[in-house]
Amino acid sequence: MDDRAAAPIRIDDPKKTVTSPDGADNLLATGTLAHDGVTPLTDTSDWQKALDIVVSSCVVLRITQNRAFDTEAATSSYATGFVVDEDLGIILTNRHVVSPGPTTCEAVFLNREELPVRPLYYDPVHDFGFLAFDPTQLQFMKSGNIALDPAAARVGLEVRVVGNDSGEKLSILSGTLARLDRDAPMYSRQGYNDFNTFYLQAASGTKGGSSGSPVIDSRGRAVGLNAGGKNKASSAYYLPLHRVVRALGILQEHLRTKGVGSWSARCIPRGDLLATFSFKGFEEVRRLGLQRDTEALVRGADIKIAKGSGAEQRTGMLVVDSVLPGGPAQGRVQPGDALVRLNGAVLTTFLPLEEALDAAVGGSVKLDIERAGVPMQLDIEVQDLHDVTPSEFLEMAGGIFHSLSYQQARNMTMATGAVYVAESGFMLDRALVPKQALVVSVDHKETPTLRDLCRVVAGLRPASCVSLQYCTFAKRRSPVTVVVHVDWQWHGPPKLWHRVDSQGTWEWTAEFAPGVQPALLEQPPPPAPAQPPAAEPAEDIPLPEPAATALDGAVDADLGTTEFEIRLRSCLVEVGVGLPVVALPDGVYSTMFKGAGVILHLTDSYGLVLTDRNTVMVASGEITLDFIAFPCEVEGKVRFLHPLHNWALVSFQTSDLTPEARRVVRAAQMSEIEVQRGDNVWLVGLAEGHTIVRRQSTVITSTMAVAVQPPSVPRFRAVHEEVIKLDQTFGSSTSGVLTDGQARVMALWGSYSEQRRGEELEWMAGCPSRSFAPWVRTLAAALDGAPPGAAVPAAALQVAVLNAELRGLGLAKAAQQGLPADWVTKLTLLDPHRRQVLQVRSCLAGSSASEQLQAGDMLLAVSGTPVSSFPALDSLLEDLTAAAAALGAPLPNGVLDTAQADGGQEEAGTKRGRQSPPEGQPPHKRNCGWDGAPLPPPNGIPNPAPQEQQPDSAARKLEDAHVRADAETGAQTGANSRQGAGGGQAAVALTICRAGQLREVCLRLETEAGLGTTHLVHFAGAQFQDSHRAVRELGYLPPQGGVFISRWHHGSPAHRYGLFGLHWLTEMDGQPIPDMEALVRVASALKDETFVRCVLVELHSAKMKVLSVKTDLRYWPCWELKMDPATAKWRRTVLTTPQAFARSSCGGGLAVPKDAAKTET
């Protein structure tokens, strides 16, 4: 049967999804064996005896492929194997199970004993391989031994397939051999495929987990090796065992005579012409030009054919199907050539062809072929298959590079040996270089081989930019050139791994170029070119004024030359964010983001760029700022992430700008006028190609409350935020700013992300300047006042929060829920436009609000001041924070220098750069400009009269709140003896309405860090962090504490044992893990290849579960990432110590990797 017209074909292994060449839909192997329609076992004594022996010899294999390599991705799965030599401990299974890359594996025997196994050998072409275990470690049972008998295979033979059911238990399926000469199945166009062999076919219905199962007859002999099947049919495909028997014999002889210490895959000679043959019937070969005399010669030749090889009857010949470029057969044979003789003997099947090629490695063979009826004689060298099978790879910034293998070269008809990208990693991902690409050159130096790439990489400097040229299989004749940012800080320096067959492991070294050391991370970057003095910045280039024109709709401002357009161009930047997969905290759902930003502060030393938090979501990763004023790209550093609102501040060094860019780059002015409904504003955005587009739009509303529902994976979402909506926009893909006619920034036009019905949606809205302008001034003042490299005051990076999520509730609905009538009137007069009350939707876990507030409570006043809007609440909390700073009260989650209270402290009410309100006016005035001047009331409705208040009213209200808090807890009153609510922390008094009753409650005045998560720990391939705000917003934290698992990596122990994300780790080996420091202490002391008992708590259900995780410090060491808030730089530290590699259960003594404990910046 032709695969190209057949149903999809699969490899019988979990996570292995494959397809037929016609592109039919794939069906994912589920990892279970089908039981429907299975023929019951024949109740005979022969079968019973055979199965008793076979079942005890079969094992469940738990395979973890630690790195993407060649045709295989990093993954963890189940499979089957069976013992073929109980004395030497040899297990036979499939090649795609053993995997060509780094693999760790355990075998579970019938009595549930688990032993570590190590790879011994996998065939370069055919789908079989061997694993080894220590027989002396099998304590409670004696393993059986299954004999291999390929000659017993015949059409009509009843067989049984003994495999595992998704790794849980053995299952037995029956079948009948229908064909012995089926073509090798094609699993994938760009994956592993067997060739140059026949396959056996039967209808046994095997599925995932049964890869490597023995196909036995009634005497318990293995006649085939289960390999794959069709997804939409019950057909299964078995590998004949003739070549397996040969390889096993060589392996056994070597281990018995020379031991495992000198073992290498090259001990089993494997030769090939780097050409693929297919078996075709005489009628088809005749149509290709075969002469009748030649056909008669072949049909009448006395050919010795091995039994079970699928060619007992001579019905066809071998025909060349494809020839690999660069191979020994290139230019000698062509597709369509019929193979008549090999070394003088007539040949019609694959088995004698392979026997002859294996025996001639390093030499040559003589071929008699017939091409379109013309006989030809050729002498062709035999290629050693081990030379075209990669045995080393370069791991660089999370990417995997190795020589192009015979398998992939054959798939794409290319020469072997080129540098193949098995995994792109962070550096290449940022440059959009795909997996399965071929690297042509780096830094203008050609890299034809992996060793050439190593030499070039060894000379690269961190933080530099180099060119990289690559091509893909589909466009191999059109190389693409990109710029790659050299970055070692997230994954550590590059490592060259090489396979050690005698140990079944891979070892790495950082000294991968002869005589050349990789550039150390601690080396300073190359000195920046000298810059001209910046005392007097150059003026803008004068441009002629064009004639005034009316703007209708979107206008490309890049072609304009007005002062308005020049100002816009000088301050806009494109912000690009790249996140490595090892630094994706806080539920970030992608690794690449791009959006618009605007420069709001610029000095001779640095600049501050404002952008939205859907572009800069977290503090990790690499940020590039591409200036619109002049082609120039510089590095950015995250300086502030507002924990509630959708904006972030990124800094850059002015000295990084080119002299030309410094002449034209300017900071935008911020408007001090609040946007009102009905205002006409300019919407300015960045389109593709750095094109500035703008249009005049009318404000529909300036007070729309953002209501983003929590996504399935907790991540940042804007809360307590009122945004601006316009009548005309540029859609959901163009972000920018809102300005007045003088190009002054009135709002950030940013991207908001939310999840609806499982889909990610984005929409645009304006964040008014009142939200970010005070913070820009505060951060600028902190940076201006600090010497270069000095720490930014921690208090400047804290945001006062109530730690309760509120929503606006209409006063009519509030009255129905019990809000007193006098408060309905009071709040109506307070804000005639909104006419709402703030109602508690939920409280953050572990906060003071969770102790005092309940869902449904209506917030009426803060420290005696009525409040009904989110801007008013933010302003009041900031004023109270400033008052607490003046009194020297410590704030939770924040670091406040109480020495500031002695002098030099700004007055209450001037926090975040706001000007103090005049006497007689409250600290919060909604309709006020930044200069304190009242603005026209909305809709002509007068504002309620302000309450009389002294300038220090915020501080006095804070004192009153402390007194009430002290009274409630029975502690002494007085500012100097507070031991009440908050344990000496600042408190705030709230007036709430609960079930129709007014109440006064006191909350600790809390703050949230303005940089998000700044500490990550990687253990066993899982990423740990503190419970970020989005997690706490769900309202639950384990009472015993714990660290949050935010993600895990494929092919890691976390993948293998189920240490998945959205869980808290609360205990390891009986030691509590309440915080990150405890995790670092416990995890860094663990030994390699030891089981660790972990107690987890699930995020959504709070269900506790216990599992064991086996450490694998060779491939998955323990390490951490920490951010220095002062410099916004991250530091990578390997926590695994050399002592952790003291033992190995696989035997053969592990070599300690160099620099096992190292700090990298």
Q: State the Cα torsion 741-742-746-749 to the nearest 10°.
A: 70
Burial annotation 801-835 (CB, 10 A radius, 16+ → b, else e) = bbbbbbbbbebeebeeeebeeebbeebeebbbbbb
Kindly tell me the burial class for residue 219, based on how many C-beta atoms sit within 10 Å of its own C-beta (0-12, 13-18, 19 or more). Answer: middle
SS3 state of residue 55: helix
Rg, Å, the chain Cα set: 36
Rounded distance between C-alpha atoms, residue 209 and residue 463, angstroms: 45
Backbone φ and ψ for 629, nearest 5 degrees, come out as -65, -35
Q: Are the CB atoms for 298 and 203 separated by under 8 Å? A: no
Which tokens in the block code for residue 714?
């907790």
The 3-state DSSP class for residue 648 equals strand
Residue with tokens 């830094």: 443
Question: How many CB atoms within 10 Å of residue 737?
Answer: 31
Three-state SS at 198? strand
Q: Is the dihedral of CA 714, 720, 725, 729 positive or negative?
A: negative
CA-nearest of 1027, 1118, 1025 to 1077 is: 1025
CA dihedral angle for residue 409, residue 67, residue 191, residue 20, rounded to 10 degrees? -170
Residue 987 host element (H or E): strand 987-994
- Enzyme catalytic residues: 96, 127, 210
Q: Which residues is 371 bridged to in the sheet?
A: 374
Residue 1001 sits at the vertex; the CA angle it makes with 996 and 1004, to the nearest 5 degrees, is 145
Residue 1061's CB is within 10 A of a number of other CB atoms, namely 15
| Residue 869 CA: distances (Å) to CA of 705, 874, 875, 896, 995 | 9, 9, 10, 28, 21
Instruction: Pull the structure tokens for residue 1070.
Output: 């009986």
Q: Measure CA of the first residue to CA of the last residue in the chain; give whole Å.
A: 59
The answer to whether 1157 and 127 have CB atoms below 8 angstroms apart is no
Number of neighbouring beta carbons within 10 Å of residue 1098? 13
Nearest to 1049 by CA among 1059, 1063, 1040, 1041: 1059
Q: Are 521 and 463 in contact (CB under 8 A)?
A: no
Give me the helices (H) in 585-736, please: 659-664
Residue 343 has which token pair? 């070394």
Other C-beta atoms lying within 10 Å of the C-beta of residue 1039: 10
At residue 110, what is the residue type? L
Q: Which residues contact 542 (CB under 8 A, 6 or more apart)?
A: none
Q: Which residues contact 251 (CB under 8 A, 6 or more apart)?
A: 90, 120, 121, 130, 267, 268
Do 142 and 87 meet the contact criterion of CB atoms below 8 Å apart?
Answer: no
Q: Which two tokens mark 331?
A: 């230019």
Per-residue CA distances from 642 to 305, 625, 796, 1009, 1012 (Å): 77, 20, 12, 8, 9
What are the tokens at 684?
Answer: 């300015």
Strands 275-281 and 316-323: antiparallel
CA distances from 1046 to 619, 1017, 1130 (A): 15, 10, 18
